[in-house]
């Protein structure tokens, strides 16, 4: 079982820096232009991902591990507006919804505008934990238009755009994402009780 997802970036950069050099993201409704910061190889396994924040109390790490390990295995899956499957490709909310449904049986709203309004605890930026949903206003006017899942160590995984490689990992510290970040929610707190029992 994975424990946490921290020292991800240096390892990912070592593995895929050359492959990422040719990608240049272009803006879409939920996929802003942004230089590649880090894209872990799709075949990262449990041994390749280290521990982090063991000193912090967090009650849902196993649920996060399940979602994020599956998400990382999909890095490079193509972007498709309105897509919600591996076969078709994903848009940002389709990617999140797919992982939560496949791993936890949770049905999240289909659009980012509905997803940001779920009745889950709000999380302060400095209190983010793996599995938290992060929301962005990439189109201006403070309206949500993009979302991802927090990995840890200021990294998040999302389906960005076709020109930026689809599913990928980026940093909240990148100027663009830092500027467009709106809020985060702990959707895992809504996980069915049977899922908690399955992931002791």
Catalytic residues: 92, 146, 158
> In this structure, are residues 34 and 23 in contact, taking their beta carbons and an 8 Å threshold?
no
Query: What is the rounded CA–CA span in Å between residue 65 and residue 122?
Result: 20
Distance from C-alpha of 95 to C-alpha of 167, rounded to nearest angstrom: 8
How does DSSP classify residue 188? Answer: G
Residue 147 pairs in a beta bridge with 135
How many C-beta atoms lie closer than 10 Å to residue 14's C-beta?
A: 10
Is the Cβ–Cβ distance between 67 and 31 less than 8 Å? no
Rg (CA), the chain: 15
């Amino acid at each position: 079982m994975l424990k946490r997802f921290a020292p991800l970036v240096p390892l990912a950069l070592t593995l895929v820096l050359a492959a990422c050099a040719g990608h240049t993201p272009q803006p879409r409704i939920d996929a802003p232009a942004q230089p590649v910061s880090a894209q872990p190889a799709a075949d990262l396994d449990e041994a390749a991902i280290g521990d982090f924040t063991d000193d912090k109390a967090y009650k849902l790490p196993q649920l996060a591990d399940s979602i994020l390990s599956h998400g990382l295995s999909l890095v490079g899956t193509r972007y498709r507006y309105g897509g919600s499957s591996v076969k078709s490709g994903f848009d940002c909310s389709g990617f999140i919804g797919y992982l939560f449904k496949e791993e936890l049986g949770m049905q999240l709203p289909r659009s980012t505008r509905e997803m940001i309004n779920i009745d889950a605890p709000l999380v302060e930026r400095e209190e983010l934990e793996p599995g938290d949903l992060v929301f962005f206003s990439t189109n201006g006017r403070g309206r949500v238009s993009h979302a991802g899942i927090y990995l840890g160590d200021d990294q998040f995984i999302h389906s960005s755009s076709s020109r930026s490689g689809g599913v990928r990992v980026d940093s909240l510290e990148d100027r663009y994402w830092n500027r467009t970040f709106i809020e985060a929610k702990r959707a895992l707190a809504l996980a069915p009780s049977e899922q908690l029992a399955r992931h002791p």
